C-alpha cells in the first residue's frame, strides 16, 4: 500500500504536482499543495489506489523541493 502527503513548509507552490496527479494533489488558498484524495486532508493516512501510482511517482519525481512524501505505511500525522 502507498500513502502520501505534502510538506507545506517546503512547498513553493510551483504547481507541478496538481498538474501531474490532479486526483491526488490540489492547492490550498495560498497555492500550497495538499493531498485531497478521499478524505485524507493531507494527513497521509489514506491508501492511494494502484491506478494512481504512476501519477504519484511522477509528482514525487517532479517536485523541485522534495515536498511530496510517499511511504508504504500510513504517516499518522
Ligand atoms: Fe509544492 Fe512540490 Fe507540488 S513545490 S506545488 S509540492 S510539486
ipTM at complex level: 0.98
Per-residue pLDDT of 27-75, as tens digits, reads 999 999 999 999 999 999 999 999 999 999 999 999 999 999 999 999 9
- Which value, in Å, is the radius of gyration of the alpha carbons in the chain? 11
pLDDT at 77 over 70: no
pTM: 0.95
**Calculated CA dihedral for residues 43, 70, 47, 29, nearest 10 degrees:** 40
Q: Is the CB of 16 under 6 A from ligand 1?
A: yes
**Distance between Cα 4 and ligand 1 center (Å):** 13
Ligand 1: residue whose CA is nearest its atom 3: 17
Cell numbers placing 21 = 496527479
Q: Is the CB of 14 under 6 A from ligand 1?
A: yes
Amino acid at each position: 500500500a502507498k500513502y502520501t502527503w505534502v510538506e507545506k513548509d517546503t512547498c513553493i507552490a510551483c504547481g507541478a504536482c496538481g498538474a501531474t496527479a490532479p486526483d491526488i494533489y490540489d492547492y490550498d488558498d495560498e497555492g500550497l499543495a495538499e493531498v485531497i484524495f478521499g478524505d485524507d486532508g493531507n494527513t497521509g493516512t489514506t491508501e492511494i489506489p494502484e491506478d494512481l501510482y504512476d501519477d504519484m511517482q511522477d509528482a514525487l519525481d517532479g517536485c523541485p523541493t522534495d515536498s511530496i512524501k510517499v511511504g508504504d505505511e500510513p504517516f499518522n500525522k
